[in-house]
Chain A
Amino acid sequence: MFAYFVRRLLAAIPVMLVVALAVFLLLRLAPGDPAAIIAGDTASAAQIESIRVALGLDQPLHTQFYLWISRLLQGDFGTSLISQTSVMGMITQRLEPTISLALAAIVFTVLIAVPLGVIAAWRQGSFIDNLVMSVSVVGFSVPVFVIGYLLIQVFAIELRWLPVQGYRHLADGFGEFASRLVLPALTLSSVYIALIARMTRASMLEVLKEDYIRTARAKGLGERLVLFRHALRNAGVPILTVIGTGFALMVSGVVVTESVFNIPGLGRLIVDAVLARDYPVIQALILLTAGLYVIINLLIDLSYALTDPRIRY
């Protein structure tokens, strides 16, 4: 088990190196002179030259890469070209909204998608099954921002139950914080609900065919106990996998949702950085997201080994 963990951890290193190289080359592969791109259209030749020296762009490519990587490993993600403050500081300031949004969305997903998937599998082919499956196809296809505006229109503008947009920090009081988080979190979870409900259903269908389910029913266990204790627990592994593969959906969802609801989180940060061509911020955010992706998938693989005694390494 420990050897497996170490092996997986080592395998993550080349992946992260490729990501770092891609992110590094991103700026270098851009057509034209990167220093000129950064300086903007109005810069003089001297200004461009000073930016070139400041960023080490006058050095050979491999030296640049080495310098950049060694700074990264020390936790130095550079300085924003626009605000002239440390990129790391900008990111930590924006962490709270994004983490609250993502966590709330995951809670909604688990509360809504897993029971739906279980019921759909339990009554396969029934009206409710068809309904769950159709709604999940629609959930995949309707873009997150369309769902966001639909929810705003219905719950904020027509019914006036919840605020339209904005974000309040948790420190400003829980009521304000939560009421502004409900709609964005529901929006963000829509794709995820579709994905997890589908996966739960497919996984449950496999498990419900097993002999031990028949045994459990034969010995007179209640249907709810059979479904949630015996079946769902064994159907859990594929559901866990989807959380890993769905991470990319979560990221693009966060970017869009924060734009729709005016939430000052990391998703807004990257869009603002792209519009301002603030390359160090873009690079740092891509690196961090990729790192998070690798870590999440590593944790999921490990949790298999821990939750399912049949899996041995």
Chain B
Amino acid sequence: MTTSTPSSAQPQRLSLLHALSRLFRLRARTTTLIAAFLLLMLVVMALMAPFIATHDPTALSPASRLQGMSAEHWLGTDAYGRDLFSRVVYGARVSLSVGLGVAVLTVLIGLPLGLLTGYFRAIDAVVMRVMDGLMAIPAILAAIAIVALTSANLWTLMIAITVPEIPQIVRLIRSQVLATREEAFVEAAVLMSTPTHKILWRHLMPNTFAPLIVQCTYVCAAAILTEATLSFLGVGLSSEIPTWGNIMAEGRTYFQLKPALIFWAGLLLSLCILSINLLGDAARDALDPTMKRKDG
């Protein structure tokens, strides 16, 4: 996912407006449209969950446990008699908020750090050593360890997933700044004794947006995957909260009896990650012509 974006991206001379207008003129490939539609459906499902769900997703009903599909329970019920359809619908909420939250947090922390490391040599030396160290710890282990220390709620979970994603973003922004600061317009700004914060804000930052948007989609997809993995392993959010990972983790025991317990949540989770990845690829093709040529 994240590895398909080169850390040595060519400098993009695209303003944010320019970048956005290009985004909206994406090659109208059917796959991109289908992906956008799928994601939109999932977002609507998450926002409207109370209206779409047919039951309370946490209501226990031991009398009607492990039922098959019926008019009453569209996808059947789980081992506690809870309505599977309603649980799967509500599961979209956690996944999408974690994906969005982590993407935003990563930018809020990674963008300033990347700008500073790219511009100031002294900061660069220290911060990049720390980033190298953090990169050596696989994301899932770092997230597991952070969650283990704190009781998992939505916030600690998002922070735990954000921390291992930061080095990638910092590296990307830094390489972009390193390339841009050699440009004539930056040199001119320095010679005109433009204040440093203004150079960073007005000249260097806008040039990082194109690759940043692309990378953000991959971070979002990776975050959703990590959250589901943590839930699945039993170290994520409390099992009372319906998340796709939790639904699948609980379905494991009765999997051989009733595969649907795992199947539906797994399907939606896969479709969600797939559509975000496809949109990321489309954004990359539209914003980063060098990558497009290289990857075919």
Contact = CB atoms under 8 A, between A and B. Distances in A.
Contact of B149 (A26, A153, A201): A26
Nearest to B269: A143
A23 B129 CA distance: 15
B274 A270 contact: no
Nearest to A17: B133
Interface in A111-138: 124, 133, 137-138
A141 B273 contact: yes
B94 interface: no
B270 A146 contact: yes
A282 B148 contact: yes
Interface in A146-202: 146, 149-150, 152-153, 157, 164, 195, 198, 201-202
A227 to B, nearest CB: 17
Interface residues of B, number: 49
B219 interface: no
Nearest to B143: A252
A306 interface: no
Interface in A204-223: 205-206
Nearest to A27: B149
Contacts of B221: 141
B235 A255 contact: no
By secondary structure, the B interface counts as: helix
A142 B4 CA distance: 17
Nearest to B278: A137
Contacts of B141: 251-252, 255, 270, 285-286, 289
Given A18-B134, A26-B145, A274-B145, A142 B277 contact: no
A282 B134 CA distance: 16
B139 to A, nearest CB: 6
Contacts of B195: none
A27 B146 CA distance: 9
B1 A146 contact: no
B40 interface: no
Contact of A22 (B137, B140, B269): B137
B106 to A, nearest CB: 16
Contact of A153 (B137, B228, B259): B259
Contacts of A271: 144, 233-235
Interface residues of A, number: 60
Interface in B120-161: 129-130, 132-134, 136-142, 144-150
Given A198-B4, A289-B137, A142 B274 contact: yes
A124 to B, nearest CB: 6
Nearest to A274: B148
A271 B140 CA distance: 11
B277 A286 contact: no
A149 to B, nearest CB: 5
A247 B137 CA distance: 10
Interface in B253-270: 255-256, 259, 262-263, 266-267, 269-270
A239 interface: no
Contacts of A153: 259
Nearest to A14: B129
A15 B137 CA distance: 10
Given A137-B274, A286-B145, A293-B138, A275 B235 contact: yes
Given A22-B134, A164-B256, A282-B148, A274 B235 contact: yes
A19 B133 contact: yes
Given A141-B274, A256-B233, A149 B262 contact: yes
A15 B136 contact: yes
A255 B149 contact: no
Contacts of B263: 149
Contacts of A270: 141, 144
B229 A138 contact: no
A252 B147 contact: no
Nearest to B221: A141
17 contacts: A14-B129, A18-B132, A18-B133, A137-B277, A138-B274, A140-B1, A140-B273, A142-B274, A145-B232, A146-B270, A149-B248, A152-B255, A164-B256, A246-B3, A251-B140, A274-B147, A289-B137
Interface of B: 1, 3-4, 129-130, 132-134, 136-142, 144-150, 221, 225-226, 228-229, 232-235, 248, 255-256, 259, 262-263, 266-267, 269-270, 273-274, 277-278, 281, 294-296
The 8 closest A-B pairs by CB, nearest first: A18-B133, A252-B140, A141-B274, A146-B266, A30-B149, A251-B138, A290-B136, A248-B138
